[in-house]
Amino acid sequence: MAIAMLVLSRWLGLDGSFTRELWGYGLNFLMALEFLTRKDFLWRRAGSSSLTIRQLLSRMHPHGGKLWLGWGGDWNKDLLQRFMERGAQDPMQGMRDTQWLHHRLEIPLEPRGNMLILGAPGSGKTQAFLLFAVQAIARGDIVLVLDPKGGTTLPRALREVSELTRRPYYQLVVAQPQESCSFDLLAHGRHASELASRISLLLPPAEQGTVFSQFAWMTLYRVINAQLWLGDSLNFPQLRAHILDQGKALFGMLLRHPQVEPQVLAGIRDLANHESVHYSKMILALMPLLDILATGVLGELLTRPQEVTKPFLTVEELVAQRGILYVGLGALSDVRVAQALGALLLADLAAWMGDRYRQGLGKGAKIQVFVDEAAEVSGGAFVQLLNKGRECGLQVTLALQTLADLEVALRGPAEARMMVGNAAHLLVLRTLDPDSRTILVERAGKVLLRVRQSGASVQAQQGVGWLNRHGHGASIARPLQEVTLIPEALLSQMQDRHFVGYFAGRGLVVGRLPWVRHSDF
């Protein structure tokens, strides 16, 4: 401080003969300067404004072992008791009064687990995705973002992060095939049965479990098994062509092979000799699906491009490059295409993760998967990722508007509850759905609190003449009462980007997300 004052005196042209007032002014100036440059002040100032991605990356460097959630603090029984004693009906208002939302809120990255984000449209789910994805990229994780709506905020932000961190960025956008890479979604799969199941699960729900879906699976299995035995590279246009001609071209290639496997040859022979009219009826539900996957936009995105400069990736290559992939499914314009692309990508990722686990490579690079509007792509492969991906370094962050969306997608509340139960971390923004609010309220549990109860009474007794006697009294009691740790009404009244979360390794927290913006905003 003395050196700073000496420099200041030289700068002012003084010879060191300071008066007491000048010394006071100088000390106050330096103290204010020191406070303004403190990191805590910068974080607090950022709490009332937006953060650019460059600012966020600079703040994430010292906190690599933790996940930053924004500003807030813990929520427990003692604080709820305090607010109830003050008569506060809104715990968030109490937190604002105590300035808790200006404190950094972080949770440890270990134990790892999947995260579920619940919130109404506009409550802050996209901001949560941006905040967590930027931190994952800064830590060196592979990041995969599935966006059914296909907006512009996420891809622009991810592209900027990739440029700042010098990480490869790819996008697979249905609405922009010319600006997208191509992706091989049949690259991973050890057996023909696995690949046949992956495709047949994309059939409409009304066809699942019927004789038509079983015939479709058998046809896919026989054709794929023959192609794998011949060493052909699998792609949807060839698969569609072989199924259209009942495998006759494959049968001819197998006959010319000197050491053909009898079971493979027998399967293709039965397929080629099947009565053609009956065959066309049995694959009636399969052909529209293959048309979607082999022609049009998906046909361009899922096959090797003719342009040499256009990337053609697999999940394994994306992980090897430690890349960032954004997938815009375009569900607003074509739900069927979005569901097919999302389900196939998650299924191929699950197959690659299974191969990685069987080879004993579970502790390699960490992969972060972010799925917005998760009900659009929910299915068997997604459930497998949530159940078993943790052993292979995978963490999934999925966002939903309401629990009902998931129940409709999985055709039952029990299946939806099971999928929600796989999330170790739960972050709830403003939501109007009672069932969605109940998830967090039940997980937070109930506590016993001393609830203040007071009363007063006035009682008149009949006397003689004017001598009427009056009685009065007052009572104050604090009995124990069981209350929910988080009031359910709070979850429907929170402001944008305010949240209540339950995190493994930290417990219950209440806070506010920052507003992260890219430079083109």
The first and second tokens of residue 237, run together, are 């246009």
- Work out how many domains the chain is built from and give that number: 2
> Cβ atoms within 10 A of the Cβ of 28, count?
10
Cβ-proximal residues to 146 (8 Å cutoff; 6+ apart), any chain? 327, 329, 342, 345, 346, 369, 370, 371, 372, 377
In the listed set 274, 303, 332, which residue is the last one of a domain according to the structure? 303
What confidence tens digit (pLDDT) does each residue in 205-247 have? Answer: 778 888 999 999 999 999 999 999 998 888 999 999 999 999 9
Q: Tell me how far CA of residue 403 lies from CA of 387, 418, 436, in angstroms.
A: 19, 12, 5
The domain containing residue 20 runs over which residues? 2-37
For residue 418, pLDDT beyond 50: yes
| In contact, 120 and 492? CB cutoff 8 Å | no
Are 348 and 187 within 8 A, CB to CB?
yes
DSSP state of 14: -
- Average predicted confidence (pLDDT) for the chain: 80
> Is residue 260 domain-resident?
yes
pLDDT at res. 48: 46
Among residues 275, 303, 331, which one ends one of the domains? Answer: 303
Name the domain boundary from 303, 319, 350. 303
Question: Could you tell me which residue, 167 or 446, shows the higher pLDDT?
Answer: 167
Cα separation, 24 vs 33, in Å, equals: 14
For strands 515-517 and 66-74, give the pairing: unpaired
pLDDT higher than 60, residue 456: yes
Residue 126 within any structural domain of the chain: no
Weakest-pLDDT range from 13-22, 151-160, 296-305, 511-520: 13-22
Average pLDDT score over residue span 394-414: 84
Distance CA 342, CA 518 (A): 26
User: If you average pLDDT over residues 111-132, what whole number do you get?
Assistant: 89
For 33-58, how does the pLDDT look when each residue is reduced to its tens digit (9 = 90+)?
554 444 444 444 444 458 888 888 88
* Residues paired with 367 in a beta bridge: 142, 394
Query: Counting every residue, how long is the chain?
Result: 521
Q: Please determine, for residue 327, whether its predicted confidence score (pLDDT) is greater than 90.
A: yes
- pLDDT of 45 reads 43
d(CA 110, CA 140): 16
Residue 103 lies in a domain: no
Q: Quick check: is 204 in a domain?
A: yes
Q: Cα-atom radius of gyration of the chain, to the nearest Å?
A: 31
At 375, the pLDDT band (50, 70, 90 cuts) reads confident
Burial 192-217 (b: 16+ CB within 10 A, else e): bebbbbbbbbbbeeebeeeebbebbb
Residue 237 maps to a domain = yes
- pLDDT for 488 equals 79
Examine residue 7 and state whether it is found in any structural domain, yes or no: yes
Share of the chain above pLDDT 90, in %: 30
Q: Is residue 194 part of a domain?
A: yes
Is there a domain that residue 30 lies in?
yes
Tokens representing 343 are: 């389900």
**Which of 15-29, 45-59, 364-378 has the least mean pLDDT?**
15-29
Q: What is the pLDDT at residue 6?
A: 47
According to DSSP, residue 17 is labeled -
